[in-house]
Structure 1
Amino acid sequence: MEAEPNRREGRRRGRDETEDERADRRWTDLMQEIRVAQTGVQILLGFLLTVAFTPHFQGLEQTDKTIYVVTIVLGSLATGALIGPVAFHRIVAGRRIKPQAVVWASRLTFIGLVLLLATLTSALFLVLRVVTHDTYVPWLVSGILAWYLLCWFALPLWTRFHYTEGD
């Protein structure tokens, strides 16, 4: 009977779980989220890497080539940040520091999402510039960027602050 009260001492508000159980759950949730973003950024980066080897690429203006280089660098950074939590977990596994690993992996994931946002915006800007050569491209890309910001950050933050108390 005494094992139960001792077990409950390590529990926190909200869910009925210990700090280790919470870290395990948060890690699993984070890995599921990362799988979606990793796949997208890897496909995008793979596609972008092949563009430089197409005949059309050599005919691009220097400005478009510069945008391309920026996009490749952003995509590479996003890929590194979104794959980082996997390597992080592998290196610290078994060291009994999962709560700290979850915090750092979450930070890497957030950075990766911001870099993915920049990559998508840059790639969209490049493609629309090359395809249309129209002056409305920056406005169109700005509108799409605003949509990304709304979906990825503004709405979740509004929901977080609107529906939680004292966090």
Structure 2
Amino acid sequence: MTEAARRTGRDETEEEQADRKWGELIQEVRVAQTGVQILFGFLLTVVFQPKYVRLTDTNQVIYIVTVVLGACATGALIGPVSLHRLVSGRRVKPQAVRLASRLTFVGLVLLLATMTSSLLLILRVATHDGYVPYLVSGVVAWYLVCWYGLPLWARRKHTDRSDD
């Protein structure tokens, strides 16, 4: 068994590993892409609603920031598809997988920011109450636990130290 096979628990070449990781990554990206595209689509319609002009200047700034974050998240999460299409057949799949993985991570961070600012805007408009920042902070803390805390904990707990 090769050194790489011992580390991954699989007897696969670098190319086979890249193929497997690519398939896994694309499945993950599909979930995030759908969410960010639906959110972004709804965000684009807000400015055309009659109530938009009655928003305070602060809420309009939050909206603009939210739309820009949503556009950036959409770009980062669709990026791996374009990357794959443009480098397909060029024998760079392991490098493409690493780059696509980084783009996906950036996209998830931007999606977190988009969802945070969307929630802030919606709750500010819906409630006009001072507890909105606390609600938003609680939801963001929950996202951080689900999206980053638990995965990092599992990685640390279940990763053999010799793998590092």
TM normalised by structure 1 equals 0.93
Deviations 1:35-80 (A, max 9, x none): 0000100000000000000000010000000000000000000000
How far apart, CA to CA, are the structure 2 residues paired with 1:132 and 1:9?
Answer: 60
Q: Which runs of 4+ in 1 moved over 6 A?
A: none
Where do residues 13-92 of structure 1 align in structure 2 (5 Å cutoff)? 13=6, 14-92=9-87
How far apart, CA to CA, are the structure 2 residues paired with 1:10 and 1:54?
Answer: 60
Q: Are 1:161 and 2:156 counterparts?
A: yes
Q: Where does structure 1 lack aligned partners over 5 or more consecutive residues?
A: 1-7
Q: 2:99 aligns with which of 88, 94, 104?
A: 104
How far apart, CA to CA, are the structure 2 residues paired with 1:93 and 1:123?
Answer: 36
One-letter amino acid matched to 1:98: K
Aligned to 2:5: 12
Deviations 1:105-159 (A, max 9, x none): 0000000000000000000000000000000000000000000000000110001
Aligned to 1:5: none
How far apart, CA to CA, are the structure 2 residues paired with 1:71 and 1:84?
Answer: 20
CA contact (8 A) 2:2 2:11 kept: no
How far apart, CA to CA, are the structure 1 residues paired with 2:27 and 2:156?
Answer: 24
Query: Percent identity over the alignment?
Result: 66
Q: Where does structure 2 lack aligned partners over 5 or more consecutive residues?
A: none
2:26 partner SS: helix
How far apart, CA to CA, are the structure 2 residues paired with 1:145 and 1:9?
Answer: 43
For the pair shown, the structure with the greater C-alpha radius of gyration is 1
2:5 partner SS: coil
TM normalised by structure 2 equals 0.95
Q: Are 1:149 and 2:130 counterparts?
A: no
Q: How many residues align?
A: 160
How far apart, CA to CA, are the structure 1 residues paired with 2:37 and 2:17?
Answer: 30
CA contact (8 A) 1:37 1:82 kept: yes
CA contact (8 A) 1:74 1:118 kept: yes
